[in-house]
Chains A and B, each alone.
Chain A
Amino acid sequence: MRVFLYELRKLFNWKVLLLILFISFLFYKLFLSFYFENFPNGRPAKDEFMITKEMINKYGHEMDEKEFQHFKNWYKQKKDDANAYLQSQQDAEKLGITTYEQFRQLDLTNKQYADFHEKVVFADQADVFWELQAFENIIEQYESKGRDIESYTDEDQQERVKQIMANNDVNSVFPYLVYENYNELIRFWAVLIIISVVMVTSRVHITDRLNNAISLQYTTKTGRNLFSAKLLAALAATALITTVQIVIFWFFYLGNGTQAFFPLSINSFYNFYYFWFDFTFEGYIITTVIATYIVAIVAALFSVFFSRIAQNYITLIGSLVPIVVLLSYCTLKYLVGELFVILHPLMLTIGTFLVLIAISTIFIIYRMKQEKLVDLI
């Protein structure tokens, strides 16, 4: 226990922590801040976000056919507002535009019309026109739900889409923009976690080697068991770093104001992706967090192994570069980003996790067995 604590303390060297702090800050600025500062990103995304929130208040988590009729009436009312707005505008009267339908079908190659259109939509920022666009998007998505089954070629995927369609969850008003935003954030954050974890845990053995402490340690009985203590220390450090990063992430993410969507099913008519499992958004968030922990632990195991093998920092960093690159690539693509989206075969995702866990564990166990017998020179 005492050795374990010493090792843990050695890992959290202040210089390394400072480096991680700076690198995290830059990583945040370069890859992440955009999705916090620009959510929802522009219009009509902002309007869709507000409307779906209101829909949850009015209809609950799902919107059935009856509620959809109500929604359409709501849309009509908005249209009346737009008509009233157009009739109150003098330029509109001059151009002979009195209804929203006319406005929507304006020939924008005509300079006069284009100017008017731009004035209304961009200069005046007449909210109702953006809202109408959002309404139209939602209505269109609702009416065409399940049609995209054609775009899936695989039988399993089609089967899954049919299954979702049969389920009431598909009427959930969970919008794609919330998923997209979360997905971008969590996948890049997971990469940041991988980098931080590797930066800390990769030093676990190599510092001793470079200090020539190995020959001292490995001539004693306790020394031969150091590998396990260091492994535990590295894993504890990994858990700590990952947890801290995720808590910070969570703190930032709550600022995006998506709490209303947490209990909704993410297999919705309004999400572009379908998932292999029936997740609520809450459940999905927890799943991605677990996936992030797994990826972080795999990264830690590899870096502990190479930290023991490598003779110097260069070899260590050099051998960790391909691992971090490949792991980050998979993390971005399907291990954390787009996790369990049916675009990626279920077996591929689970298989990759299993293979990663298996290889890293085998490396560690193999080394652990050698530790007792290994020559010092």
Chain B
Amino acid sequence: MIKYELIKVVKSPIFIILLLFFVTLNGLIIFDHKNERKNLPVLQNIVEQYGTKIDDKALAGMKKEIDYEMVWVNRLNPKSEKQYQFPYEFIKDHEAFLYQHLMDRELNRLFNLNLFTQYYETAKSVDDIYSELDATEFARQQIKKYGLSGKAEETVLNQANLLEKRLKQLVKNGEHRHFFYLGPVYEMHSLLFKKLGRAIAFEGMILVVLITALLANYEFEHRTSFVAFTSKRGRNLLWDKLAASVIANVFAVMLLIAATLIIYFSVYDYSNLLFVPISSYFNSETPFPYISWWNLSFLQYVCLFVGCLLLSQLLYMLLTFSLSIWLKNSYLVFFSFALFAGVSLWIPSVVSLNSNFILIMHVNPFYLIMNPHVWFMGNNIFTMFPHFEAVTIAVWAVIFVLLGFISMYKFKRQPLN
């Protein structure tokens, strides 16, 4: 029977149209500001030559390369007697000269060298920065910013201690000493995990709600409910529908994610960087760098990210399924779902900020997808728990499954009209 339920989905061309539309949107997000990211290959060259790990050998090699190139730079302006050590010094003194006298090729070489130097300098400063990093101070600032107090403040500070420990371990592992695309310049982490992550989550949500509602309400909306649900087996059809919606939803969401990621990774080259820890200092975009709770490589992080996205979508499916059983009308289901999402996002902003209740209120499946770029990380004080994502998904899976069982129980015993 699952097969026939699946046919209902396949025969609706709207899902394919929506998928194409969403993938196009994501493509636009990916290509947006691509020009500002055209110098990414500079890092590729560094990694090819020195590997991703920052050590003394790599630093010495880079310095040597800079010195070698500086000989060329210092000859660029014959009138200038001064010997420069680094390209940015040269650029600062010759701003007008650059665009008047240099050819595009030379300019490119100079700016690439400048970028190369920026990687070098950042790599050199990593140790100093991490020796001064203070997770507790970071938590204090955030607490002040959001106005937490009382028990909530206490809990967050406790968690900050945990983060502090993790930070020490991270430094010991040397996770931060890895080359990656410069965070503050390119914001690749935000692009992939925040912008695209959020986009995929919301797009997936629309697909999931529509697919699930189509299946669950099909008999009522096509006036076949009196035929389908009047026998004993009939009411159990809902189980087939549930199984079919799991299959269809996983398939649709995976297609969406896969298509988006394929476009992303074919536009931006990550081939050498797959095993760089996600907590690398180069990945950070704010003064307080990203710190994952475990030693995760970029590839592992992407896998966890996809898994978390998929599981959250299954939560939405369960909610939609229960809503459908009660409302029996896709239109109402769609907008009630939107209402549910809106309430979940609104409630954390009205809860008082002095008890742990505010933190508990953030454990909800819709808040979860608002910040996918700090999943499995300690960078958001409201989600500063190592297992925040797992707990959120597990708790709400239990709630929604129970709700599903109650709805199903009710459905089996209710009159059809």
Contacts and interface: CB of A to CB of B under 8 A. Distances in A.
Interface of A: 15, 19, 22-23, 26-27, 29-30, 199, 202-203, 210, 212, 312-319, 321-322, 325
B151 to A, nearest CB: 25
A319 B21 CA distance: 10
- Interface range on chain B (Cβ under 8 Å from partner): 20 to 34
A319 B12 contact: no
Given A23-B335, A318-B15, A313 B342 contact: no
Interface string B199-223: 0000000100010011001000111
Given A203-B331, A313-B221, A317-B330, A23 B342 contact: yes
A23 B329 CA distance: 18
A26 B343 contact: yes
B345 interface: yes
A198 to B, nearest CB: 11
Nearest to B24: A322
A26 B343 CA distance: 7
B336 A314 contact: no
A210 B58 CA distance: 70
Nearest to B218: A312
Nearest to A322: B21
Interface in B325-369: 329-332, 334-336, 338-339, 342-343, 345-346, 349
B200 to A, nearest CB: 14
A58 to B, nearest CB: 39
B332 A15 contact: yes
Given A22-B339, A27-B342, A313 B329 contact: yes
Given A23-B338, A30-B342, A315 B12 contact: yes
Question: Interface SS of chain B: helix, strand, loop or mixed?
Answer: helix
Contact of B336 (A19, A26, A315, A317): A19
A230 to B, nearest CB: 17
Nearest to B334: A317
Nearest to B339: A22
A321 B213 CA distance: 15
23 contacts: A19-B335, A19-B336, A22-B339, A23-B339, A23-B342, A26-B342, A27-B342, A29-B349, A30-B342, A203-B331, A210-B221, A312-B221, A312-B330, A313-B213, A314-B213, A314-B214, A317-B210, A317-B334, A318-B14, A318-B18, A319-B14, A321-B21, A322-B21
Nearest to A211: B223
B17 interface: yes
Contacts of A313: 213, 217, 221, 329-331, 334
A199 B25 CA distance: 23
A26 B347 CA distance: 10
A314 B339 contact: no
